[in-house]
């Protein structure tokens, strides 16, 4: 389920939403990586800056989901999405998958806006990725039959390690990680209870 054996062409064909998100990560990273005026301006315009959001720049609640603070940051989040996104895209369908991804990322950024200082600046898709973990956990809790025991253990292990690392590593948006995870779990819980 979490082992990727497809060719690049098959991966793009089977998981178009994950592929598009990763392509956006890479393109925005490349567009903002060169330290010249246009790329610097683009990064500044798309980053999450709480002060600018409360002053009406509401797109900054969405755009940070696709922005990253460096190559390693972009690579790690994109790799996480390659591993854990395809199974959910296949399970939920394209529309539900992108809605959950965006909803959890936006929830993480709104929590950041509410709980962090106005001077706080953030980028990264990890709030949305933690949202996927939260949704997986809701499957484990409410629909155990949808995942094998081995896959459930993998998800729980990675989620626990992710939460621990959230508090151990520096320069992490703890609020986004925790509230992305919570949003994913609550969305899953609500959808499974509605369908039961």
Q: What is the pLDDT of residues 124-143, one digit of tens each?
A: 999 999 999 999 999 999 99
Q: Is 138 a catalytic residue?
A: no
Which residues, in sequence order, are CB contacts of 48 under 8 Å at separation 6+? 60, 61, 63, 64, 109, 112, 113, 120, 121, 122, 123
Geometric angle at alpha carbon 13, from 95 and 16, rounded to 5°: 35
Q: How high is the pLDDT of residue 16?
A: 97
Question: Of 68, 73, 122, 177, which residue is the catalytic one?
Answer: 177
Q: What is the pLDDT of residues 39-80, one digit of tens each?
A: 888 999 999 999 999 999 999 999 999 999 999 999 999 999
Does residue 163 carry a pLDDT above 70?
A: yes
Q: How high is the pLDDT of residue 196?
A: 62
Question: Of 126, 138, 170, 191, which residue is the catalytic one?
Answer: 126
Domain residue ranges in the chain: 8-195
Q: How high is the pLDDT of residue 37?
A: 72
Q: How high is the pLDDT of residue 38?
A: 83
CATH superfamily placement of domain 8-195:
Rhomboid-like (1.20.1540.10)
Phi, psi of 120 (to 5 degrees): -70, 135
* Biggest CA-to-CA distance, the chain: 54
What letter would DSSP give residue 5? -
Q: What is the pLDDT of residues 89-110, one digit of tens each?
A: 999 999 999 999 999 999 999 9
Q: Is 126 a catalytic residue?
A: yes
pTM of the model: 0.94
Distance separating alpha carbons of residues 123 and 145, to the nearest angstrom: 36
Average pLDDT, the chain: 94
């Amino acid at each position: 389920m979490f082992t990727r054996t497809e060719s690049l062409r098959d991966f793009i064909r089977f998981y178009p939403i994950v592929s598009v998100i990763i392509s956006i990560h890479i393109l925005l990273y490349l567009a903002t990586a060169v330290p010249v005026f246009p790329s610097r301006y683009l990064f500044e315009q798309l980053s999450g800056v709480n002060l600018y959001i409360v002053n009406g720049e509401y797109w900054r609640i969405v755009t940070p989901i696709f922005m990253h603070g460096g190559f390693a940051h972009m690579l790690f989040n994109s790799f996480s999405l390659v591993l854990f996104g395809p199974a959910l895209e296949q399970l939920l369908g394209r529309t539900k998958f992108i809605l959950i991804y965006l909803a959890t990322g936006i929830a993480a950024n709104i929590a950041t806006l509410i709980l962090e200082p106005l001077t706080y600046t953030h980028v990264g898709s990890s709030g949305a990725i933690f949202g996927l973990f939260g949704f997986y956990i809701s499957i484990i809790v409410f629909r155990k039959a949808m995942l094998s025991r081995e896959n459930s253990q993998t998800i729980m292990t990675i989620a626990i390690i992710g939460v621990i690392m959230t508090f151990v590593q520096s320069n992490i948006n703890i609020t986004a990680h925790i509230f992305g995870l919570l949003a994913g779990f609550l969305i899953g819980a609500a959808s499974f209870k509605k369908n039961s």
